[in-house]
Structure formats: C-alpha cells, structure tokens
Amino acid sequence: MNIMRVEAKQARVDTENTDALVLMFCEGEGLPKEEGVILDRALGGALRELLQSKEFDGKAGEVVVFHTHRKIPAKRLILVGLGKKQELGLDHIRQAMGHAAKRVRQAKCQAFTVALPSVVPQEASPIDVGQTMTEGAILGSYQFTTYRSDTPGKAVTAMTVLAPRKDQLPQLSEGIRRGVATAEATVFVRDLCNHPSNVMTPTRIAQEAKTVAKEVGVNLKILEQKEMERLGMGALLGVAKGSHEPPKFIILQYQGAKKKDDRPVVLVGKTITFDTGGISLKPAENMEQMKADMTGGAEVLAAMRAAARLKLPLNLISILPAAENMPGGRAMRPGDVVKTLSGKTVEVQNTDAEGRLILSDGLAYATRFKPAVLIDIATLTGACVVALGQFAIGMFGTDATLKEAIRKAGLRAGERVWEMPLWEEYFEQLRSDVADMRNIGGRGGGMITAALFLSKFVGDTPWVHLDIASTDWSERERAYIPKGPTGIGTRLLIQFLINRSL
Ligand code: BES
Ligand code: MN
Ligand code: ZN
C-alpha cells in the first residue's frame, strides 16, 4: 500500500486552499483559540451557531462536515471532537485524526489539511503532537484490498499540517518523520497479517525479510531445516514437522551504534504462519484468526526496518523463528519429547502450545549475541485473552529498568502493557515426569506459566516477554484500529528503540 504523504507548513487557516480542512475541538470549550475564531469570522458566525445548537460539542468521536461555499478557500471544514480538555491525552489526538481521515475519504477527497490542535496534553512536545497526528491519520485510513475486485473508495494520499508559527516547523517535521515511520511499520505488519496463510508461509516471510534487508541495507541470515537440525533446534523442528511448509529461522542484524561491538537489543517474534493446534486440534470457530499467529514476527521485522530507516544509533538484531503448526502425518504427538537448542528437554503434552516451543529455540539462539536487552513478542496464550481482553498487552520480565522502559514506550505509543507475575512458584505446574519440563501448565494462570516456560531459555539476560494474544486482532473497527489484525506492539517496539537512542 502507498503511504500517505505528510508535510508541515506554516500558513493561516483562512487562506489555505484545500478540499478539506480539519479542525479539532475540545468538549464544551467553544471555538478553538485563534484558528476557530478566525474561521468563524470568515464564515459569518456559522461555527459559533453550530456550537450553540449543541449539534456538535467536541465530544470524543464526534465529526461534522461543513461546506464553506467558498467563503474561505477551503471547500469543506471537518470538525472533530477531542473530548474533555482536562482528560486530553495523545491518544485522543490519534483517535480524532483517525476519525477525520476516514471522513475525508468518505467525502472523496484525496488530500486534506489539518490545523494543529490549539490545546495539547500537558508534557506533550510539538514532536509528540506531530507524531500522533500522523499516526492517527495514516492508521485510521488503513484498508486491505489486495484480494478484492471491488474498490472501496480511493485512498487519501496527502495530508498537510498547518502550524501558525514558523519556529514550530522543525519539531513538527521531526514528529511527522517519526509518525510516518511508526505508522508505516504498523501498516506493513497489518498487511502481512491480513494475507491468508496459503500465501504468507514461512517461505514468503523469508522473502519479505529479504526485501527488507535489501531495502534498508541490513544483514540477513536464514537458517534452513538442515542447519536447524545440525544446531539442534528440536523444539522448532518438532512444531514444523506436521506441515509440508519448510520452517525458516530468520536473523536480521543492524549496526547503528558508533561502537560496533556495543551489545545489541535483540527482538524475537513468534512467527507461526498458521496455528491449527496440530494434533491437539483447535475448534473450527474463529480458527481463521490464527493466520495472524505470526504477528510477533512481522513486528520485529517491521521494527528492524524502521530502526534502519530512522538510522537509530544502536545495534539491533531481529529473530523470526517461522513455522506452520499443522496436524500432518509426521506431526508431533502429545507425549513426544523434544530436545531444545538450549539442551533442555520438553515433554509436549499439548501440540497447541507451540508458540513457547519455537520461542524456546529463538530465545536460546538470541542469547548467543550477548544482548544488552532481549524482548520477545508473541500471540502466545488464550489465557491472555481471558485475563486482559482487548486493551492491554501482558508483560513479564526479569529486569525492572527494562520493564519500566517498555511500560513508558507503550504508554507513549498508545499500546499499553500490564505487568503480570513471573513467580517461580508457578513452575510446579510445568513439571514433567519424563522430561525437564512440559509445555503446558494445566488449569490456572495460563499466561503466567507460558511466560515462565520462556524464562527458562533466556539465561540471565535482561528480558521482557509481551503477550499480544487478543490485542493483535480487533473484533470491531475503531478510530485508528481496523477490524481484524491491528499490528499492536509495532509502535511500542519502535518507540522503545527511539527512546533508547535519545
Ligand atoms: N496462538 C495461540 C494463542 C492465541 C489464542 C492467540 C487466541 C490469539 C488468540 C497459542 O498457540 C495457543 O494455542 N495457546 C494455547 C495454549 C494451551 C494449549 C496451553 C491456548 O492458550 O489455548
Ligand atoms: Mn497454539
Ligand atoms: Zn499459536
């Protein structure tokens, strides 16, 4: 998909010639200072009249389109609500821009202009505002149309952000640059997740990684099945056995730090291109959503691309253990024992707990790079769906500083995490009679026992695990989140990398 072009410009709202001019309002605050007053005067008091009628009040999610009859050069005004001034956060701006961009598309405009909001959240810099406005607009207008013969309305191709003062432009432009990077990465992830699994196989994922590596000039290594056998990745190979699709173990490496031997940030993403459950077959209902079981992998690939494009001054490695979980004739059986790359053995009591198996080899491999920090992201457990629902990513970790940095990045990105306990007591649920551990924890604390399982493969590396099951897929369309794959976690990861580079 072509990404919307976004630029900043210094100009007055009442002299801009555009098909649509977007103006943001806080609830019950009357006309936005300066811009609102200027426009109202030019329109002969029409905005004031509208507000007085209470038809539009600036509530979050409210949108009104207003034709100007050329009393000003802009053809239409689109008014969007930000909600209450006291509660205003960056995500309200992101949401308002998502609503606005959709309305622009409905009005069949390909380009639009938006005024900087006159009120911004406390502690938000112009960079933050530019970034979130850009994210909201690009993500709100996302559509996946690859397999459709009908064309559901032309895409919006350009947005101009108007700043009243020239000295605001450098920061605003930097924000836009970051916003384009994070939004584009999210769009990339949504696209990869939307493709069906007959297309997005481990082989295709490897091709996507090749394209990324070539485009941004990072190092790429792909381990084929033979190599994995030689290394002893028994867990990943065990999962892949039930499928005709060959597994791929993908490693991308970016050297951006001044010192070449600076310890890298290592990201590992669960890349199951389809999860049937294997012999422990899943029920049919909603199984199609398991095409997005490679979200984590797509995200660490997207984060790699963004970091290289932004030329962040750090060393970064992304690892994608990629396989398909199928119940074929050679598939793993419940009760099978596999030997992981780490040397630890695992009794596979349930072949549907495959994410932790491929990640155990992914994480063990990651520790070979002596990471400064290690982060994995995975659509790991149905228990996460039950515990946290649609609005929080489950977080576990061994390092307080790293957890705090992830928490901050998530808050800033509008992709919030919630910490869960990683207490050793839970390990009794993972004990096996025949191997070092088993791959399921029985009833209770399913998200926790999965995380604890992973912790056994990271050694003493500072590590965080993010469970994005449930948040990775939205049941309904929201302001800047589509129905289906959301790409959640992408902006968090990139924001974490940006913050670490400052
Ligand atoms: N990919 C699933 C988890 C999942 C469920 C993601 C729903 C998104 C939405 C994972 O591989 C899985 O099947 N987990 C099992 C583990 C269980 C057998 C211990 C689960 O949570 O049911
Ligand atoms: Mn599964
Ligand atoms: Zn899975």
Q: Are 381 and 448 in contact (CB under 8 A)?
A: no
Residue whose tokens read 């422990």 = 280
pLDDT of residue 264 exceeding 70, the answer is: yes
Nearest protein Cα to ligand 1, atom 22: 382
What mean pLDDT is predicted for residues 59-88?
96
Nearest protein Cα to ligand 1, atom 3: 381
pLDDT, tens digit, 9 for 90 and up, residues 7-28: 999 999 999 999 999 999 999 9
- Per-residue confidence band for 272, with pLDDT thresholds at 50, 70 and 90: very high
Distances, alpha carbon 110 to alpha carbons 99, 154, 157, 242, in Å: 15, 7, 5, 47
* Burial per residue of 369-399, b for 16 or more beta-carbon CB atoms within 10 angstroms, e otherwise: bebbbbbbbbbbbebbbebbeeebbbbbbbb
Q: Are 450 and 354 in contact (CB under 8 A)?
A: no
User: What per-residue confidence (pLDDT) applies to 153?
Assistant: 77
Nearest protein Cα to ligand 1, atom 13: 352
The residues of the chain that CATH labels 3.40.630.10 are 189-501
Structure tokens at 379: 């659509």
> CATH fold of 5-163, please?
Leucine Aminopeptidase, subunit E; domain 1 (3.40.220)
pLDDT, tens digit, 9 for 90 and up, residues 412-467: 999 999 999 999 999 999 999 999 999 999 999 999 999 999 999 999 999 999 99
- Per-residue confidence band for 203, with pLDDT thresholds at 50, 70 and 90: very high
Nearest protein Cα to ligand 1, atom 7: 382
Structure tokens at 231: 């290394």
User: What per-residue confidence (pLDDT) applies to 486?
Assistant: 98
User: What per-residue confidence (pLDDT) applies to 1?
Assistant: 62
What mean pLDDT is predicted for residues 201-211?
99
Tell me the CA–centroid distance for residue 113 and ligand 2, in Å.
45
Helix/strand/coil (H/E/C) assignment for every residue in 346-398: EEECCCCCCHHHHHHHHHHHHHCCCCCEEEEEECCCHHHHHHHCCCCEEEEEC
SS3 state at 134: helix
Residues marked active site are found at 282, 356
Sequence-ordered list of residues with C-beta below 8 angstroms from that of 184, at least 6 positions apart, any chain: 3, 138, 306
Testing ligand 1's pocket by substitution, the residue of 288, 290, 346, 381 carrying the most ligand atoms inside 8 A of its CB is 381
Q: Are 32 and 118 in contact (CB under 8 A)?
A: yes
- Per-residue confidence band for 62, with pLDDT thresholds at 50, 70 and 90: very high
Tell me the CA–centroid distance for residue 130 and ligand 2, in Å.
39
Spatial CA neighbour of 310 closest among 133, 489, 180, 412? 180
Q: Which residues line ligand 1 at a C-beta cut-off of 6 Å?
A: 275, 293, 350, 352-355, 379-383, 385, 440, 446, 469-470
pLDDT of residue 482 exceeding 80, the answer is: yes
How do beta strands 271-275 and 265-269 pair? unpaired
SS3 state at 410: helix
User: What per-residue confidence (pLDDT) applies to 185?
Assistant: 98
Task: Return the CA Rg of the chain.
Answer: 24
Q: Where would I find the H helices in 26-168?
A: 35-42, 46-52, 90-106, 126-140
Testing ligand 1's pocket by substitution, the residue of 239, 294, 380 carrying the most ligand atoms inside 8 A of its CB is 380
Rounded-to-5 percentages of helix, strand, coil across the chain: 40, 20, 40
Region of residue 470 (phi > 0: left; psi between -120 and 50: alpha; otherwise: beta): left
Tell me the CA–centroid distance for residue 140 and ligand 1, in Å.
29
What mean pLDDT is predicted for residues 401-420?
98
Distances, alpha carbon 437 to alpha carbons 132, 332, 340, 428, in Å: 44, 17, 11, 9
User: What per-residue confidence (pLDDT) applies to 10?
Assistant: 97
SS3 state at 271: strand
CATH number among 3.40.50.300, 3.90.550.10, 3.40.50.1820, 3.40.630.10, domain 189-501: 3.40.630.10
Tell me the CA–centroid distance for residue 235 and ligand 2, in Å.
14
The residues of the chain that CATH labels 3.40.220.10 are 5-163
Nearest protein Cα to ligand 1, atom 8: 469
* Burial per residue of 244-256, b for 16 or more beta-carbon CB atoms within 10 angstroms, e otherwise: ebbbbbbbbbbbb
Structure tokens at 305: 């691309």
Round to whole Å and give the CA distance between 20 and 74. Answer: 6
- If you average pLDDT over every residue of the chain, what do you get? 97
pLDDT, tens digit, 9 for 90 and up, residues 83-124: 999 999 999 999 999 999 999 999 999 999 999 999 999 989
Round to whole Å and give the CA distance between 481 and 499. Answer: 24
Tell me the CA–centroid distance for residue 380 and ligand 1, in Å.
6
Q: Are 254 and 246 in contact (CB under 8 A)?
A: no
Round to whole Å and give the CA distance between 56 and 27. Answer: 9
